[in-house]
Amino acid sequence: MPLQVGDYSWQQTEAAVFLSLPLRGVSVRDADVFCSESYLKVNFPPFLFEAFLYAPIDDAISKAKIGNDTILFTLYKKEAVMWESLLASGADKEMKQRIREQSILQAQERAQQAGEAKAAARREDQKYTLGVMMKIEEDERKKIEDMKENERRKTTKELEVWKECQRKAKEQKENQRTEICQQEKQVEEERKKVKHKSLTRKPSSGHLSSKGRHSENIFSEKLKEDSIPAPRSVGSIKINFTPRIFPTALRESQVAEEEEWLHKQAEARRAMNTDIPEFCDLKEEERNPDWLKEKGNKLFATGDYLAAVNAYNLALRLNNKIPLLYLNRAACHLKLKNLYKTIEDSSKALELLTPPVADNANARIKAHVRRGTAFCRLELYVEGLQDYEAALRIDPANTVVQNDAQKIRSVIQGTELTS
């Protein structure tokens, strides 16, 4: 049972009460102070001090200072009057119990209100933070959209300039052709006039007739000489032969596979899917998979891998038979560390790069290397080594692939030794 403390001193003014309570050697951290409008309690085991105050106080601004084995209370009165005593007189046991319970309930309500206010303030802070983050994301998205729009305008302007150059070149060729035709026509008319004059000239009689025939013969011979073209000047003609699509000797080539590859490429170029309603709003060049592929390549070169993926996605929706689109998108996913998507796109590219011929050898090497790299980053070194060895079977002299394959073998051997 705690020991009641009655040793205290107090003073008052019309506005405040000053109460001094000795701690009697008890540690400061062990003291528990509770204060309400009409009730004050200090618990510092094994001692207990309770005070049922004479009049209400403002517990919100009242203070307690602990130090030097003493607790000093500064209690501010709600009414500026002098108290007859510190403690309320005539308070029986039931009244004291009721005051205790009311004080505890009031303290709990204030604590609950304070907690709710703190939670509301936290929610407001979170709402404000979320709003700021959304604004930042919106600004970033707008910045990206502006960059895309500027790039689109730049590309469109370049395309218009290219079209204008092509149109001017075509007009120049047409003008040259027209001038040549006019010159040929003038030459032909001059020849006809000369021929007509020679036929309409009449010969003279007697001695003059023989002279006229002689003159006519001379003129006709001259005309024949004029009609005969001059000998061509000596010169050399340079002949350039069109290179073969597959630069291999005929005895080493696979004619059937090469023809099948060319046939599949032609079919892939014709397989366009422009019936989707959302493609109707796109411009003519934006519905061209080759234009979108070049666009994605430019974005990849600038490091904007997400935008490059979007360009390749749109191109694949237009035509999903072009293996280079999957191969380039696999490179983007590898940069973005989307390893499973890299494996999927590389595998799809290898499916389309059939039959294996010299024309698609470089693409097949890239597909094997990118898939092998994704396997290795997933710590599937055996599968990655298989892809690198497949690339070396296509190009055994590739030193970069040889070095990477040797590193993977070292990792596998080290893993096996460790295990």
Share of residues in the chain with pLDDT > 90 (%): 26
Identify the residue with better confidence: 235 or 229: 235
Identify the residue with better confidence: 171 or 90: 171
- Residue 60's pLDDT band, with cuts at 50, 70 and 90, is confident
In sequence order, which ranges of 240-322 are alpha helices (DSSP H)?
255-270, 289-301, 305-318
The confidence score (pLDDT) of residue 248 equals 58
Identify the residue with better confidence: 210 or 262: 262
The confidence score (pLDDT) of residue 85 equals 82
Q: What DSSP state is assigned to residue 360?
A: G
* Plot region of 250 (φ>0 → left; ψ -120 to 50 → alpha; else → beta): alpha
Give pLDDT tens digits for 190-221: 887 777 776 665 454 444 444 445 555 555 55
Identify the residue with better confidence: 383 or 68: 383
Instruction: Report the range of poorest mean pLDDT among 28-32, 165-169, 180-184, 410-414.
Output: 28-32
Q: Show the tokens assigned to 286.
A: 């934006």
Domain boundary pick from 62, 91, 120: 91
Average pLDDT over residues 67-79: 82
Distances (CA, A) of 411 to 15, 373, 393, 403, 404: 83, 13, 21, 13, 11
Residue 211 lies in a domain: no
Kindly state the helix (H) or strand (E) to which residue 43 belongs, with its residue range. Answer: strand 39-44
Residue 395 lies in a domain: yes
- Choose among 350, 288, 363: nearest CA to 319: 288
Identify the residue with better confidence: 356 or 242: 356
Residue 206 lies in a domain: no
Give pLDDT tens digits for 219-230: 555 555 556 666
**By residue range, what is the domain housing residue 80?**
3-91
- Decide: helix, strand or coil at residue 64: strand
Give pLDDT tens digits for 110-158: 888 888 888 999 888 988 998 899 989 999 999 999 999 998 899 988 8
Give pLDDT tens digits for 383-407: 999 999 999 999 999 999 999 999 9
Separation CA 258–CA 241 (nearest Å): 20
Give pLDDT tens digits for 41-50: 887 777 777 8
The confidence score (pLDDT) of residue 243 equals 61
The confidence score (pLDDT) of residue 232 equals 73
Distances (CA, A) of 388 to 110, 327, 351, 373: 71, 16, 17, 9
Distances (CA, A) of 355 to 33, 269, 352: 88, 17, 8
Which of 6-15, 60-69, 124-133 holds the top average pLDDT? 124-133
Domain boundary pick from 38, 62, 91: 91
Compute and round to an integer the Cα radius of gyration of the chain.
Answer: 51
Residue 167 lies in a domain: no
CATH number at residue 311: 1.25.40.10
Give pLDDT tens digits for 288-339: 888 889 999 999 999 999 999 999 998 888 888 889 999 999 999 999 999 9
- Choose among 386, 387, 385, 396: nearest CA to 364: 387
Residue 343 lies in a domain: yes
Separation CA 340–CA 107 (nearest Å): 59
Instruction: Report the range of poorest mean pLDDT among 22-36, 292-306, 352-366.
Output: 22-36
User: Around Cβ 185, how many Cβ atoms within 10 Å?
Assistant: 10
DSSP 119-179: HHHHHHHHHHHHHHHHHHHHHHHHHHHHHHHHHHHHHHHHHHHHHHHHHHHHHHHHHHHHH
The confidence score (pLDDT) of residue 50 equals 80
The confidence score (pLDDT) of residue 326 equals 94
Residue 239 lies in a domain: no
Long-range contacts of 104-107 (CB under 8 A, 24+ apart): 106/36, 106/37, 107/34, 107/36
Q: How many domains does the chain have?
A: 2
The confidence score (pLDDT) of residue 206 equals 47
The confidence score (pLDDT) of residue 318 equals 85
Average pLDDT over residues 405-413: 91
| pLDDT at residue 94 tops 90 | no
Domain boundary pick from 91, 110, 128: 91
Residue 329 lies in a domain: yes
Give pLDDT tens digits for 243-261: 655 555 555 556 677 777 7
- Residue 267's pLDDT band, with cuts at 50, 70 and 90, is confident
The confidence score (pLDDT) of residue 69 equals 74
CATH number at residue 12: 2.60.40.790
Distances (CA, A) of 26 to 18, 66, 71, 194: 21, 11, 11, 141
| pLDDT at residue 358 tops 90 | no
User: Cβ distance 312 to 290 under 8 Å?
Assistant: no
- Choose among 340, 334, 295: nearest CA to 313: 295
Identify the residue with better confidence: 337 or 358: 337
| pLDDT at residue 419 tops 50 | no
Give pLDDT tens digits for 366-389: 999 999 999 999 999 999 999 999
Query: Model's pTM, two decimal places?
Result: 0.41
Residue 410 lies in a domain: yes
- Residue 284's pLDDT band, with cuts at 50, 70 and 90, is low
